[in-house]
Structure 1
Amino acid sequence: MDLDMVMQELEAMGKEQIKKRYLNNGAREPLFGVATGEMKPILKKTKLDQPLAEQLYATGNYDAMYLAGIIAEPNAMTDADYDRWMDAAYFYMLSDYVVAVTLSEADIAQEVADRWIASGEDLRMSAGWSCYCWLLGSRPDREFSENKLAEMLDQVEKTIHDAPERTKYSMNSFIYTVAISYTPLHDKAIATANAVGPVEVMSDKGKTKSLIAVDNINKFLARGKLGFKRRHVRC
């Protein structure tokens, strides 16, 4: 399939209700409103195809950019390529659920995520913390440095309340992901969650809400999810 064929299929699958939901979450035109699960049949036709992924991502169409993440070849992308994708990721559904997800399947994932966390830019920081969540939730514990993750938990405890808004979400997710998916630091992550307490975040619509990591931890534990690892990150 070429770019025009894929774009025609995406347009045919678009639904106005889904489009409105994406727009309410921060997406902008152009987009069709395609449910992400409905993109799987396209993947079966294209297989992984990095050149096509690059063409789709460059359209600026949200649905096409999301599909780009599904068909991309993570290890074919360099750190500069990931930076370029982040430059075009204008809201969190792209930074955290397309770019960070794709990066999490690359060999350079931790290296790039570390750099983004240190960048001081909200969406890059958010993507960096999110990437670690995807990594921890899918890769064996042996692939991570316990000392490094412990230091990251300390960093979250010290800085989350003053972090940029979107980064707060990802830092909060990092706490409970460590608690559930990285068992060597389960107890420390719980202690971090309790020390942090509720984290106030402001939505784009001016409303505030509280993120409470320990509540998420308890929900996962109640469902017997301690040590949870997903088989695949991308759909």
Structure 2
Amino acid sequence: MTAMTVPEVLTELAALEDPKMRAANEKRGDDHGIHLSKMRALAKQVKTNHPLAKELWETGETPARLLALLICKPREFSADELDRMLRDTRPPKVNDWFVNYAAKKSPLAEEMRLRWFGDADPTVNAAAWSLTSVRVVKNPEGLDLTHLLDLIERDMKDAPTRPQWAMNETLANIGIRNPELRPRALAIGNDLQVLADYPTAPGCISPFAPIWITEMSKRVRS
């Protein structure tokens, strides 16, 4: 089967547009109207194609960028490409998929984490904290967890939404995975009250760190 071209892909994406889905997405800040299950189905049809993914990204269109993140090869992005892409991921879903499907899967993840940590751009700083949260869980050796707690205690309360969420996730994972630091992580969460009132669906765990830590620590072998 001949690889699809950018115009062909854009035509397929346009055919998937649903006005009701767009209206719902726009309330969350996303400018597309495609069911993500249909987006994933199209990605399976197109198949992994990194050159096509890069061309789709350069269109600047949210549906095209979401599809690009599903068909790209994260290991083939350079550090500068990842940096430039991240700084242009303003729609929430594009940002979420970029961090999870490109940055976290790149062999340059740690290099990017260090490069982005403390960046003045909230979107970039948030990505650094998301990568830090992954390290806390998967590869904590070499991380100064006490220093991370110091930064969270100092900055999380007044941080913009994206880095606040990522810092909160890091706080929770430190408390869940490190029994010796759990009391302090719980205390920070209780003192700051970040996401304490966040609505949580039945059967789901609240993102409020003290609740999250307490519940998940029961499931993780200390």
Q: Give 2:28's match in structure 1, choosing from 16, 25, 29.
A: 25
**How far apart are the structure 2 equivalents of 1:174 and 1:38?**
32
**Aligned residue number for residue 126 of structure 1:** 126
Matches within 5 A, 1:183-194: 183=177, 185-189=178-182, 191-194=184-187
With a CA cutoff of 8 Å and minimum separation of 6, indicate the structure with the bigger relative contact order.
1
Task: Say if 1:99 and 1:127, in contact at 8 Å, map to a contact too.
Answer: no
User: Which residue identity is paired with 1:71?
Assistant: I
Cross-structure match for 1:13: 16
1:10 alignment partner AA: L
Q: CA RMSD in A?
A: 2.6
Q: Residue 94 of structure 1 aligns to a residue in which SS?
A: helix
Normalising by structure 2, we get a TM-score of 0.79
When Rg is computed on C-alpha atoms for both structures, the one with the higher figure is 2
Is 1:58 the counterpart of 2:52? The answer is no
Gap runs ≥5 in structure 1: 202-209, 228-235
The match for 1:110 is 110
**Runs of at least 5 residues in structure 2 that lack an aligned partner in the other structure:** 197-205
Q: Which residue of 1 aligns with 2:189?
A: 196
What SS does the aligned partner of 1:129 have? Answer: helix
Q: Residues 61 and 117 of structure 1: is their aligned pair in 2 closer, same or farther, counting only changes over 3 Å?
A: same
CA distance in 1, matches of 2:46, 2:80: 25
Instruction: In structure 2, give the amino acid aligned to 1:172.
Output: N
Q: Percent identity?
A: 22
My pick for the range that moved more, 99-108 or 8-17, is 8-17
Aligned to 1:199, the other structure's residue is in SS state coil
Aligned length: 206
Q: Which residue of 2 aligns with 1:98?
A: 97
Partners of 1:154 and 1:192 within 8 A in 2: no
Runs of 4+ aligned structure 1 residues displaced above 6 Å come to: none
DSSP 3-state at the match of 1:145? coil
